Structure 1
Amino acid sequence: MKILFLVQGEGRGHMTQAISLSQILRSAGHQVVGALVGKATNRVIPSFFAEQIKAPVYEFIAPAIAYNPGGKGMNVGHTVYSLFRNAGQYIKELRTIHDKVNEIQPDLIISFYETYSGLYNLIFRPQIPMLCIAHQYLLMHPKFVFPEKSIFNRFLINLNSRAASWLAHKRLALSFREMEGNSENKIAVVPPLLRRELRSLQTSAGDFLLVYMTHHSLSKQIIEWHQAHPEVALHCFWDNPNVSDEFVFDNTLTFHRINSEKYLNKLASCKALVTTAGFESVCEAMYLGKPVMMVPVPNHFEQQCNAIDGVISGAGIKSETFDLSKILEYLPNHKSQSQTFRNWYQRGDALFLSEVSSAVKRPELSRKTGVMPFFAQRILNSFL
């Protein structure tokens, strides 16, 4: 079976999920024939993705989150403004996706929360089935626990999730723990997608804290805490393009450019992980039995939800700031959920292959793209 990926290039999680699923699919005899990756104009797709996906990678411009300077989190206003300001460019990129789908003619498209996926289905009406995979789809589950007084934010994030998966065959919701599905929203709850390299790692209790941040502007808080506690060794991973691959701040603080192999080795040997509440990083830590302090990016509702769900699942604690003293205080009380998590994770291969098989067996679908509706063609042409 020929399978094409659509991958959101914001952050590390969706890309590592795509790598993991590609390994599962190839082991079952399927082909991953390409990966279309959406990214902001000023972002660089990490080299590890092209190296490990083992398929042609095609980039296109996509919306991205804008951050405030000085580590003050997500700038909602600028994010929305940028979306509308560049709407013409973004719509043009739909043609890039469509042309590549026509060229490759896959049997199945799998989207990793790529923003364009639902809009592509709506405008071009391809007769190729699509599966949409993300932890965000779990937030559409009626039993998901949200932050208090979050009705509006809950509406917005689920609206975005619905838009990213319009007309998809099914939504596969990645979860820290087992939950039953929800047929009303076409949700199947599945285990996390983690890279197979985790399975061979040997863990040890190191003497340093590991920090992972989604944006280098958040490093300001780390440096401030470090200067007050220089005796605690820290290794931090960031995406700062203006420094070398390894930036030694001083004897006990080192910043590393995001590197898959180096990060996993550090995770296996650290004392604990401090991370900006990204789903993938928390899952990897749970698998390896490492306590986690989750620090949601300010004004980032999705990460607030991830942190609450992580605490419920036994990953560790939640904090609003990078006050690393909290994780040091928590460590003696941590109860590892590693074995429970691994039991859930090990069911993943069979569940994903079953969903792939179910999607392509839909008798009403052919394997060619459909005819774009007239009104959609007019809209698209107005931007070309």
Structure 2
Amino acid sequence: MSHPPRTGDAMALRCLFVVQGEGRGHLTQAMALRRMLRDAGHRVAGVVVGKSDDQAVPAFFRAAFEAPVTDVESPGFVSDDADRSVRPWATLRRALGRTPTYWRSLSALDAAIKRHDPDVVVNFFEPLMGLYAVTHSPSVPVVAVAHQYMFLHPAYRFPSGRRDKRWAARAFARLTACGASRRLALSLYPAPDRSQDDLAVLPPLLRPGVFRQPQDRSEPFILVYILNSGYADEVIRWHEQNPTVPLHCFWDRPDAAPVEAYDETLTFHQLDDEKFLRLMARCRGFVSTAGFESIAEAMYLGTPVQVVPVEGHYEQRCNAVDAVRAGAGVRSTQFDIGHLRAALDRGSTPEARFQAWVRQGRRRFVRELEAAARRPVAGSLGPRVAERILEAA
């Protein structure tokens, strides 16, 4: 049902969040934006999280919202048996084989939009929302938010080679933003907006907990985050050759205990939102798979990083190159933590400049959503929408 924005309480908006649940980056971005909207007098009426059938929505995410959080099954990456690398063709085969399931997810998304009747839908890079725009032509305004929309900006520098991967990354970004009246590209550095493409460049959306951390403490341990638990073997091998270096490692292994002490100087932790931030603020350096959000949090806290892209994950390779460009630290292909020494020798990341960039964006996010809610929604995307996506990519 389409309706004009509510005008009471300085146009208090009712928002619906649609969030990709792969990793934790989009989840924490949604948490950060929810706080900004609440502070501005708006509210999130509901949240839909797209996830693979073997994933669980973290408890800290559910606890961050007063609104109901609905899970739907969505396409996700398939890892190899060692849980180390992404298998692109297996990912595609599974997505095609689960098409009926995704149709049911689209129906659940449609039901959520009708039930919550939002003034604006905020899509955090969930592909189902792009597909929904193609199949349902929603009358509610949609704003797409993700760092991947920087792939569509001429100032973005991709890794050299693999033009096929670059084309696919751009095409997928356009697909997720189908039907969006505005695309908000999160970036580690400023870049001009592209009004002709409805593309605005904004700083990362950092969780409120990041701003509460002390930034004048440094302890001798190294913090490690591995998106795929298969990388634990690499961490253990390096540790056994360097047993005097204390390591705290976070992973997402469903059958693991909340805390597992490998020995006196290596401890594994299940994902814990607040504990992770506390340790990041205190650590000497940070080694991680190349997730955008973790890099941005470390830069804000002035923590030097070593990023290790997940094998076969082109987007993470892009993030690693971008992190080095932004001055966050160094990149490598393995969890050989010795590479971090180069970043430590150089000193802290340029946090003062980065912190100023982050502060500039806090009101802009709210203004973008308010403007989108006032903007008339375009009509049907038409039968050639997929063709146009591929041509533009």
Q: Distance in 2 between matches of 1:3 and 1:284?
A: 26
CA deviation digits over 1:310-367, x for unaligned, max 9? 11111000111110011024311235210000000001121111111110111457xx
Shift of 1:196: 1.1
TM-score of the aligned structures, taking structure 1 as reference length? 0.93
**Which piece of structure 1 moves more, 331-340 or 228-237?**
331-340
**Change over 3 Å in CA distance of 1:220–1:68 after alignment to 2:** same
Is 1:306 the equivalent of 2:329?
A: no
Partner of 1:112: 124
Residue correspondence of structure 1 range 171-320 to structure 2 within 5 A: 171-203=183-215, 204-320=217-333
Q: Distance in 2 between matches of 1:293 and 1:26?
A: 35
Residue in structure 2 matching 1:349, options 337, 359, 362 = 362
Q: Distance in 2 between matches of 1:332 and 1:71?
A: 32
Partner of 2:23: 11
Answer yes or no: is the 8 Å Cα contact 1:207–1:233 preserved in 2. yes
TM-score of the aligned structures, taking structure 2 as reference length? 0.91
**Change over 3 Å in CA distance of 1:206–1:48 after alignment to 2:** same
Is 1:338 the equivalent of 2:354?
A: no
Partner of 1:379: none
Q: How many residues align?
A: 372
Residue in structure 2 matching 1:57, options 61, 69, 74 = 69
CA deviation digits over 1:80-126, x for unaligned, max 9? 11111111111221000001111111110000000111111111111
Partner of 2:390: none
Q: Distance in 1 between matches of 2:84 and 2:212?
A: 37
Q: Distance in 1 between matches of 2:349 and 2:19?
A: 32
Answer yes or no: is the 8 Å Cα contact 1:272–1:292 preserved in 2. yes
- Residue type of the alignment partner of 1:110: V
**Change over 3 Å in CA distance of 1:93–1:210 after alignment to 2:** same
Across the aligned residues of Structure 1 and Structure 2, the Cα RMSD in angstroms comes to 1.8
Secondary structure in structure 2 of the residue aligned to 1:346: helix
Secondary structure in structure 2 of the residue aligned to 1:210: strand
Q: Distance in 1 between matches of 2:345 and 2:83?
A: 30
Secondary structure in structure 2 of the residue aligned to 1:224: helix
Shift of 1:150: 2.4
Secondary structure in structure 2 of the residue aligned to 1:69: coil
Partner of 1:380: none
Q: Distance in 1 between matches of 2:126 and 2:377?
A: 25
Answer yes or no: is the 8 Å Cα contact 2:185–2:200 preserved in 1. yes
Residue in structure 1 matching 2:336, options 310, 323, 326 = 323
CA deviation digits over 1:273-325, x for unaligned, max 9? 10101000000000000000010001111011111111111100011111001
**Change over 3 Å in CA distance of 1:233–1:371 after alignment to 2:** same
Partner of 1:381: none
Q: Distance in 2 between matches of 1:185 and 1:117?
A: 19
**Change over 3 Å in CA distance of 1:183–1:247 after alignment to 2:** same
Secondary structure in structure 1 of the residue aligned to 2:178: coil
Q: Distance in 2 between matches of 1:136 and 1:143?
A: 13
Identity of aligned residues (%): 37
Residue correspondence of structure 1 range 31-70 to structure 2 within 5 A: 31-70=43-82
Answer yes or no: is the 8 Å Cα contact 1:134–1:172 preserved in 2. yes
- Residue type of the alignment partner of 1:351: R
Answer yes or no: is the 8 Å Cα contact 1:129–1:168 preserved in 2. yes
**Change over 3 Å in CA distance of 1:24–1:223 after alignment to 2:** same
Answer yes or no: is the 8 Å Cα contact 2:302–2:348 preserved in 1. no
- Residue type of the alignment partner of 1:305: C
Residue in structure 2 matching 1:99, options 111, 120, 139 = 111
Partner of 2:33: 21
CA deviation digits over 1:160-186, x for unaligned, max 9? 111111111011000001110123432
Answer yes or no: is the 8 Å Cα contact 2:179–2:381 preserved in 1. no
Q: Distance in 2 between matches of 1:111 and 1:33?
A: 14
CA deviation digits over 1:199-257, x for unaligned, max 9? 12113111110011112122121111111111111101111011111111111111111
Q: Distance in 2 between matches of 1:278 and 1:328?
A: 20
Q: Distance in 2 between matches of 1:85 and 1:71?
A: 21
- Residue type of the alignment partner of 2:106: L
Residue in structure 2 matching 1:360, options 373, 382, 385 = 373
Q: Distance in 1 between matches of 2:239 and 2:187?
A: 33
Q: Distance in 1 between matches of 2:315 and 2:360?
A: 26
Partner of 1:157: 169
Partner of 2:140: 128
Is 1:89 the equivalent of 2:84?
A: no
Partner of 1:378: none
